[in-house]
Amino acid sequence: NYPGFKESAVFKVLMNTPSGGYYNFADCGDKRGVQGDITLAWFASKTGNASFFEKERFLMPPEEMGKLDRLAGAALVWIAQYEEKSEEKIPAAWKGEGANPIFIFTDSEGDNHGYYFGGKGGRGTVNHGNMDGGSFIFELNGVRWVVDPGNQDYHTLEKTGFNLWSNCQDCERWTLLTKNNFGHSTLTIDNKLHVVDGLATIIDFKDGTQPEATIDLTAAFQGQLDKAHRKFTKDSPTSLLIEDDIETTDSTQLVTWQLITTSDVEIVPNGAILKQEGKSLRVENLSHPDLTLSVVSLYPAPLQLDRQIKGLKRVELRIPAWTIDNGKTNIKIRLSE
């Protein structure tokens, strides 16, 4: 009954996305293996909750499983102890608080759109943290349209003498695209790094059929903005609305809204269309129709030591501060079929 322990099983389930990947924030890997989840097997044996028992993955043919995990023997014991007592539904809207808060929206019961949204707060100084407060990933219809650049091999960096683990404001870690805000779907002000110890927190969360989550990013932009609140809304079963409530300072020059993707991008009036695997997603610029989205290629990545992700690019909405009336603006972007 330790606080958060049982909930960690729900977290583990929700980190698996419809496309077969993980919500790979911080230093998480990109994709899970094909085998059943051993940790969840333990929770299944103790709770009898069918949502934690990945039966099909444990029963796949041996030749498809590959090399077994070192804890596979223990998993056999836990599976043998499993007796279904309930199938508590995994929530379609969920949040986790703490030093690196996150929130998830998925398909509602009865929907089958492969909907997955994961967003986060946090700050760069948490263990394995990045300057990714306000960032998110988004999947629909089996395609990951908005990506997190994820992790990269530690040894490859460390053998060059790269200082990976210091996390001061100007430390070398933040030159990497996987670690800084330039490689994440968040806001950037005046082409500067986020404030490394500025904690972005969840200030509002609502579940239901149209869940909402709002984070206060103001601390991440200390000295750059007077206020930055970002709100995510699942406004339909196949769309996501992102709203940024911003107040600039006298010295603010440029506000950049960013979306990171590996999809092909076509710029169209009032937005863009992402194309991948024969499917498409519309990025609608609802708030600033007089400004055009632009695309910055991140492949190859800026540094030789950066992780090279084929097709990676940053879709931007660049808002000069002089166009903002009375220092206040609301950016509204909608992602939809």
Share of the chain above pLDDT 70, in %: 100
Q: What is the pLDDT of residue 325?
A: 95
HSE value, Cβ hemisphere, 13 Å, CA-based, for 103: 26
| CATH number of the structural domain 101-336 | 2.70.98.70
Q: How large is the average pLDDT for residues 3-25?
A: 95
Q: What is the pLDDT of residue 310?
A: 98
Plot region of 197 (φ>0 → left; ψ -120 to 50 → alpha; else → beta)? alpha
Residue-range domain boundaries for the chain: 7-81, 101-336
Return the minimum-mean-pLDDT range out of 75-89, 101-115, 172-186.
75-89
Q: Give the whole-angstrom CA distance, residue 331 versus residue 333.
A: 7
Q: Give the whole-angstrom CA distance, residue 85 versus residue 107.
A: 24
Q: Give the whole-angstrom CA distance, residue 63 versus residue 55.
A: 17
The overall average pLDDT reported for the chain is 96
Note if the bond before 300 is cis, omega within 30 degrees. yes
- Residue closest to 295 by CA, chosen among 324, 276, 318: 318
- Tokens 């760069």, located at residue: 124
- Quote the Cα angle for 41-46-48, to 5°: 80
Q: Give the whole-angstrom CA distance, residue 123 versus residue 8.
A: 21
pLDDT band at 244 (very low <50, low <70, confident <90, very high): very high
What values do phi and psi take at 81, rounded to 5? -85, -10
DSSP secondary structure letters along 77-115: HHHHH----B-PPPPSEEEE-SSS-EEEEEPPTT--S--
pLDDT digits (tens, 9 = 90+) for 277-295: 999 999 999 999 999 999 9
Cα radius of gyration (the chain): 21
pLDDT digits (tens, 9 = 90+) for 133-166: 999 999 999 999 999 999 999 999 999 999 999 9
Q: What is the pLDDT of residue 87?
A: 77
At 50 the three-state DSSP class reads: helix
Identify the H or E element spanning 205: strand 201-206
